[in-house]
Structure 1
Amino acid sequence: MALKEKITERLKKFTFVEESPRLPALQKASVLIPLFVREEKVYVLLTLRSVELRHNAGEVCFPGGKSDRNDRDEIHTALREAEEEIGLPPDGVEVVCRLSPVLNQRGLLVTPVVGFISESFQACPNPAEVSDVFSVPLDLFLKDVHHSAYPISNTSTMTHCFNLTDPLTKKVYQIWGLTAILNILLAVLVFGRKPDFEVEFNVDKAIVNFQLEFKHRLSKL
């Protein structure tokens, strides 16, 4: 079985199924986590937000945004936002699963949608929203080489941070906060092993059951 098919099969086991009672009536948003395989290595596509934006200006994140009244569901939101931000057509995404929603610092209930895109995809960033698009190997988020962590004041939660330098452009990217956490969790689910650094959640349980282990912890971010 090819690497892409193996990852797809594994991630589908962690597809979020809404429980009863229903999720709280909060304003919703979605992000697309675009994966692709190149030379038998899995990569994740990330964006750098425009410095002109009101929220999280200049930060690394996934394509995504708030749900619209015309969106059919969380997947539709993620695909629509990715097309608006980086020119990724919805039919160019092979959706694998949606993971458990998380509550971000702005009070938005964010649903991560995981999908595969073509390795040949060329992004066309919308300059009003995105200043750069780049990709990194997903297994980087299990390594301690570029990683640091520090506690958030008055909580038991850690902020994880990865500082990366593009070998070709020499641009420096800092991946932290919720984006870093989601990359760590996705890498754990894809590769089925613990990170080389300490995390404040139980990785073994995460591999067995993503939803039960992380739903409560991620809601505190």
Structure 2
Amino acid sequence: MSQLPLTPLSKLSNFDPRKVPVVGSDAHLLAVAAAQLLPNALRARFQNPPVWQPEVRAEPRFTDRAPRHAAVLIPIVLHSQPTILLTQRTAHMSSHAGQIAFPGGKVDATDADASAAALREAWEEVGLAPGYVEVIGELPAYVTGTAFIVTPVVALVQPGFTLVHQPEEVADAFEVPLAFLMDPAHHRRHAFDWEGVQREWFSMPYTDARGERFIWGATAGMLRNFYRFLCA
């Protein structure tokens, strides 16, 4: 099977997040128990949410444009061992080019709410039909450094779907075990000084048959919040 090309993961010159040193990891924290990752447990968690606080709310801004609302779908595919469906953006995108992301995008005026926007974007980007998707809740908004106010919409997805990538936006789609992402031993911390601002982020590199999937930035931040929600 072909290996993934080394795609640039940032528009910042002389910056590759894969080369920024790891300043710490969280192997001392407990992973979310396997029983808590099953469909009924996930539904129950959103129906009766705990008292908790997201760990990552906003990135330092590096743009002066007006904030825009967006929504992403966190699609949990219900295999015997659940996975999360992720995409890799194409290298020519104007924002977050080449990065690993959830299906999603800007909320349109015609969208009834964040869930509707996330479902529409998932259909448009990767052909994930809404009939396979059960929305079970939302996580708190996450504000990116590019001034998007992102609502993460969590959903359970029945297997059997067929994906069709939107070639202008999506270079690839793949799945990562939910248990891997909900184990903080795989959550690495990075720090980088850029134009006098200390920027910190998580990464959760995952290796599959095609090579390393470098999950970082906003996607990793939202996954970290999901971890905190499930283990609260």
**Would the TM-score normalized by the shorter structure come out above 0.5?**
yes
Range moving further from structure 2, 143-152 or 91-100: 143-152
Q: Deviations over 1:198-218 (max 9, x none)?
A: xxxxxxxxx2xxxxxxxxxxx
Given that 2:192 and 2:200 are in contact with CA atoms closer than 8 Å, whether structure 1 keeps it comes out as yes
Give the structure 2 partner of residue 49 of structure 1. Answer: 89
Alignment of 1:111-150 (within 5 A): 111-143=151-183, 146-150=186-190
- What is the distance in 1 between the residues matched to 2:221 and 2:173? 19
SS at match of 2:135: strand
Partners of 1:151 and 1:136 in 2: CA distance: 25
- Equivalent in the alignment of 1:13: 48
Q: Which runs of 5+ in 2 are unaligned?
A: 1-34, 51-65
1:30 aligns with 2:71: yes
Q: Which structure has the higher relative contact order (CA within 8 Å, separation 6+)?
A: 2
Would you tell me which structure has more helix in proportion to its own residues?
1
CA distance in 2, matches of 1:155, 1:141: 28
- C-alpha distance in 1 between matches for 2:71 and 2:130: 14
Conservation of the 8 A alpha-carbon contact between 1:138 and 1:183: no
CA positional deviation for 1:138? 1.6
TM-score, structure 1 as length reference: 0.73
Structure 1 consecutive aligned stretches of length 4 or more whose deviation exceeds 6 Å = none
CA contact (8 A) 2:70 2:106 kept: yes
- For 1:67 and 1:80, locate their aligned partners in 2 and report how far apart those are by CA, in whole Å: 9
Preserved contact between residue 76 and residue 84 of structure 2 (Cα < 8 Å): yes
The residue type paired with residue 38 of structure 1 is H
Whichever residue aligns with residue 9 of structure 1, its letter is A
Decide whether aligned partners of structure 1 residues 152 and 180 sit closer, same or farther in structure 2, where only a CA change above 3 A counts. Answer: same
Classify 1:145/1:187 alpha carbon distance in 2 versus 1 (closer, same or farther; 3 Å). closer
Contact kept in structure 1, 2:142 and 2:222, CA below 8 Å: no
**5 Å matches for 1:1-221?**
3-14=38-49, 26-39=67-80, 41-143=81-183, 146-153=186-193, 158-166=200-208, 169-190=209-230, 192=231, 207=232
3-state secondary structure, aligned to 1:11: helix
Q: 8 Å contact 2:132–2:159 — kept in the other structure?
A: no
Contact 1:68 1:77 in 2 (8 A): yes
User: Gapped runs of 5+ residues in structure 1?
Assistant: 16-24, 193-206, 208-221
Identity between Structure 1 and Structure 2 (%): 33
- CA separation in 1, counterparts of 2:128 and 2:197? 38
Cα 1:126–1:160 change in 2 (3 A) is same
TM-score where L is the length of structure 2: 0.70
Question: Which amino acid in the other structure matches residue 87 of structure 2?
Answer: T
* Comparing 64-73 and 6-15, the one that deviates more: 6-15
Q: Tell me the SS of whatever aligns to 2:109.
A: coil
